[in-house]
Amino acid sequence: MTTKILRSVHAIEGADMPVRRAFAAHGGVSLDPFLMLDHFGPARLTPASQGFPAHPHKGFETVTYMFSGGIEHNDSFGGHAVIGPGDVQWMTAGSGIVHSETPPDDMRHGDVTVEGLQVWVNLPKAKKLHAPGYVVLKGDELPRYRSADGQVEGLVIAGTLPDVVGAVEPKSPLTLALIRIKAGGHFILPLPDDWHAGVYVAKGALETVTDGHTVIYPTGSTVDITAKQDSTVLLMAGKPIGEPVVAYGPFVMSSEGEIRQAMLEYQSGKFGKVA
């Protein structure tokens, strides 16, 4: 089966954060159940850096992995943490939440560069009103995959890789893993008949694409990649939810009416506020 290649586009998100957007449901491109992938930074922090000030979400989950620097998370349900290199935060927006992701004060005044990945993961309609939640996964606690030849190592955030179960049990069938491949290394993963996948090249180069590109593998195919250079990729594989997706700014629901309801709830203060 033929793969498809997507090229990232550059943008500024939040107050001042440069991102490479790999794909987005807002732009008509998604990898159901994955709605969006942003590669933010690298950005050198200054005393004026603001990152992503308080903003709402509803109807999906966000997953953030840090390459360097740090992000301080605060939300309207009491969630708070600073995550650094190698750490992951998994936030369930569900029925509605307000949160901020900003550079910690001490990092604004040092020689610090912030860089990471954020994935938006859709929730099935039946789970879109799930209670909001927030979990921090420290890098040294993430389950690790290692190939027999030692050329491929993976941090399994959710789902499974061969013989490894991820740190988070996802709310729909999927696997999310950060994989590092040495130059010449080969990674292969057959997909279930009803799954498809995307591989985003965050650093390095594969045989077919360089960094900033996403390779899309169709349903029932096999993820098959070889690294030309030492490379870091994000594997996003899953069974499509197969439901309507209506994305409007920070809200992702199943109908226009649900989007209007989300806006009214946020405007009336039902999502709470960041302290």
> What CATH number does residue 221 fall under?
2.60.120.10
Residue 65 falls inside a structural domain? yes
The count of structural domains within the chain is 1
Residue 215 falls inside a structural domain? yes
Residue 177 falls inside a structural domain? yes
Can you give the pTM of this predicted structure? Answer: 0.96
Residue 258 three-state SS? helix
> Cα separations (Å) of 164 from 153, 159, 181, 229?
12, 9, 17, 25
Residue 270 falls inside a structural domain? no
Residue 70 three-state SS? coil
Residue 271 falls inside a structural domain? no
Q: 170: which 2 tokens?
A: 């996802």
pLDDT along the chain (275 residues), means of 10: 89 95 89 97 95 97 98 97 98 98 92 96 97 96 96 98 96 98 97 97 96 96 97 98 96 97 97 92
Name the E strands within 32-107: 34-44, 52-57, 60-68, 71-75, 80-83, 88-92, 97-102
Distance CA 204, CA 236 (A): 18
pLDDT at 1: 58
Closest alpha carbon to 258 in 131, 130, 125: 125
What are the φ/ψ torsions at residue 139 (nearest 5 degrees)? -55, -40
Residue 273 falls inside a structural domain? no
Distance CA 78, CA 58 (A): 17
C-beta of residue 99 within 8 angstroms of C-beta of residue 73: yes
Distance CA 238, CA 260 (A): 29
Residue 132 falls inside a structural domain? yes
Residue position matching structure tokens 């190939």: 147
pLDDT at 2: 75
Residue position matching structure tokens 């309609």: 125
Q: CA torsion sign, 139 to 142 to 148 to 152?
A: negative
pLDDT at 27: 81
Residue 225 falls inside a structural domain? yes
Q: Which domain range does residue 111 map to? A: 4-264
